[in-house]
Amino acid sequence: MAYDLKKALSCPERFAPGHRLCAGCGAGITCRAMMRAVDPGDRAVICNATSCLEVSSFQYPFTAWEDSYIHSAFENASAVASGVEAAYKVMKKKGKVRDTFKILAIGGDGGTYDIGFQSLSGAMERGHDFTYFCYDNNAYMNTGTQRSSATPRFASATTTPPGTESVGKKQNQKDLTKIVVAHGVPYAAQTTLLGNFRDFHEKARRAIYTEGPAFVNVLSPCPRGWQYPAERLPEILKMAVDTCVWPLYEVVEGEWHLTYEPRKKLPVEEFMRLQGRFRHCFKPGNEWTIEEAQKYVDKKWEELLKLCR
């Protein structure tokens, strides 16, 4: 289905300004782009797991959402979306609903990679027709920047602080997009925001209008948790992609497609040095952490290239 980005950008906002998200937060940009991918003539139901996004975009009686919105518990956004989708199908069949609704679920990495994973996995396996967007900010930002399974190795978090006996988180981050693909879903993708705007919009559109379960994992930095000035968000996202820390790809009916390949793959330290959460990695004696981070990214990148080629 052709997607006119210029036309989509000119449509009225369906995620309104005036919310309480921090300046420089990737979640708000994710939501604006996600809602632009829904046809103006279609309606949407958003199922939002408890998160920074939920507490910042919906405080009764005020809301930033122009479409129907459900605040779910931390762990069950996908289950709620499944129920909404099942009810919609029944009501549509009985003629009680005439409009076309798109069912969207959204949550952070804490509510997706970890606490909400069982719910997500079940919904993907059952084949419900909805799209799940994960805004991945690499930690439990809403409750104090605790590490999650999306937190990269060596990153500082309140539960993995660096010190004389620690260099941050010990484990590599979970490859959730690949895990979702293993469920046999018709569409899954990994993308990000500024600098790759068309990539995000086209993948969001494709996911929403694919019949069956779809999943879009969006790198959405957090200025407080990642420790960067708000204005550096575009630079950080560009470095995430050009260092291949966060490669852009999609999997359509089991076929892997790389959607962006850097002309020159940059060293991982160019991404890490922009963020305070990796500051300790650049101290004398910790050079090995940067070397290990580079080895991991290189390994994952080569694996992805093989899958796509």
pLDDT in tens, 226-242: 999 999 999 999 999 99
CA distance 223 to 220: 10
Q: In what order do the strands lie in the sheet with 255-258?
A: 68-71, 43-48, 101-108, 131-136, 214-219, 187-192, 249-252, 255-258
DSSP 27: H
Q: What was the pLDDT predicted at 195?
A: 65
pLDDT recorded at residue 59: 87
Report how far residue 90's alpha carbon sits from residue 87's, in angstroms, rounded to the nearest whole number: 5
Higher-confidence residue of 5 and 141: namely: 141
Looking at residue 3, its pLDDT comes to 67
Kindly give, in sequence order, each residue whose CB lies less than 8 Å from that of residue 258, ignoring residues fewer than 6 positions away.
247, 248, 249, 304, 305, 308, 309
Which residues, 6 or more positions from 124, have their beta carbon under 8 angstroms from its beta carbon? 78, 132, 180, 183, 185, 213, 215
- pLDDT the model gives residue 44: 98
Over residues 264-291, the mean pLDDT reads 98
pTM above 0.85, yes or no: yes
**pLDDT on residue 302:** 98
Collapsing DSSP to helix, strand or coil, 28 comes out as helix
Which band of pLDDT confidence, cut at 50, 70 and 90, is reported for residue 37?
A: very high
Show the CA angle centred on residue 70, arms to residues 224 and 102, nearest 5°.
Answer: 105
User: How far apart (Å, rounded) are the C-alpha atoms in residues 125 and 87?
Assistant: 18
Whether 1 has a pLDDT exceeding 60, the answer reads no
Can you tell me the mean pLDDT for 210-235? 96
Q: What is the per-residue pLDDT for 199?
A: 93
Q: Would you state the pLDDT for residue 11? A: 85
219 vs 201: CA distance, rounded Å = 14
Residue 273 has pLDDT above 90, yes or no: yes
Query: How many angstroms separate the CA atoms of 45 and 48, rounded?
Result: 10
Mean pLDDT of 278-295: 98
| pLDDT interval class at 149 (50, 70, 90) | very high
Mean pLDDT of 285-309: 97
- Establish how many alpha carbons lie within 13 A of residue 165's alpha carbon, considering only the half-sphere containing its beta carbon: 0
d(CA 128, CA 211): 9
What is the chain's alpha carbon radius of gyration, rounded to the nearest angstrom? 19
Please tell me the distance from the alpha carbon of residue 304 to that of residue 244, in angstroms, as a whole number: 10
Residue 106 confidence class, pLDDT cut points 50, 70, 90: very high
pLDDT digits (tens, 9 = 90+) for 123-137: 999 999 999 999 999
Q: Please report the domains of the chain, with CATH numbers, ordered by start residue.
A: 5-308 (3.40.50.970)
At 154 the pLDDT is 98
* pLDDT of 145 strictly over 90: yes
pLDDT at 67 over 80: yes
In whole angstroms, give the CA distance from residue 213 to residue 230. Answer: 34
